[in-house]
Amino acid sequence: MHNPFVPETLEGWSVLHLMYRVDWERLKGIFPGDRHQMGQEAAAALAQTTPAAEHGATAYVQMLGHKADLMVIVFRRTFDDLARAEHALAQSHLHNFLTPTTSYVSIVELGMYEMTAKIHRQIGEQGLKVGSDEYNAAFDEEMGRQRQRVMGRLFLEVPKRRHVCFYPMNKRRGEGHNWYSEPFERRAEMMLEHGKIGRHYAGKVTQIISGSIGFDDWEWGVDLFADDPVVFKQLIYEMRFDEASAKFAEFGPFYVGLQFGAAGLPTFLDGQLPDL
């Protein structure tokens, strides 16, 4: 049954963020050729879990600060595929020099506030009763069409941008402000305002929203990719002034770093800054 007061979502990549601390002291005692081989082996092991681009991708990020040294972002079709990728890395020789600091599980999500209301309104105009088999079938058919329309946003390529920012967030459910008790129309209005700010930064930042309700400790994960890290500060600061964020947003820890290609993993292990 499709509840007209609950916004529908469309799902894409399954996503796993893995953060590690590197044992640099032990690595320095390894022969450079062996370090190079370890990096190649780990990257190859992850690549083997994505035999073609449509099966997924992997992003590598050199982290800034104490929270982690390396972040590996795994985009795959299913949770089974995420498990295979995580297992492949765990079985690599490199993993002996990595200590997990945290992780995050989610699925790329496209919220459909405006479209949900529009579809319910269109089906209602056909005289179909909410909750009936005919109503649900008509709704599913239209959602299927919408999914095909936005497939590129659900299974997008990893943005080729140097700087990466990841953070989890919730919508507040406190006594004073509870997002989920607000009327549907009001929530849709606030999300429209919120989205307009993001569109001002089109071309400067690529945003990937993933849903994690039932998967992890927060409700959403947000990945931002940009050529200039200052854009992260500008975008997030400006968004905090809209009502959806000012009253209802709660933010978790922020992770920021520099993205590099799989071929740069040996360079990273040598203690040098790898290129994108």
Reported as a single tens digit per residue, the pLDDT across 27-76 is 999 999 999 999 999 999 999 998 777 899 999 999 999 999 999 999 99
67 token code pair: 């929270």
Those residues whose C-beta lies under 8 Å from the C-beta of residue 29, and which sit 6 or more positions away, are none
Q: Is 162 exposed, middle or buried (0-12, 13-18, 19+ CB in 10 A)?
A: middle
Instruction: Give me the residues of the chain with pLDDT under 50, please.
Output: none
pLDDT value at residue 114: 77
CA distance 156 to 166: 17
Determine which one of 113, 167, 201, 255 is catalytic: 167
Q: Dump strand ranges (E) for the chain.
A: 9-22, 56-63, 70-76, 98-111, 163-171, 205-211, 220-226, 249-251, 255-260
Instruction: Look at residue 119 and give its three-state secondary structure.
Output: helix
Long-range contacts of residues 264-268, Cβ cutoff 8 Å, at least 24 apart: 264/60, 265/39, 265/40, 265/42, 265/43, 265/60, 266/35, 266/36, 266/37, 266/38, 266/39, 266/40, 267/39, 268/39, 268/60, 268/62, 268/70
Report how far Cα 149 is from the mean position of its chain's Cα atoms: 20
Say whether 60 is catalytic: no
Encode pLDDT of 196-207 as tens digits.
998 899 999 999
pLDDT value at residue 1: 62
199 token code pair: 């569109």
pLDDT value at residue 5: 73
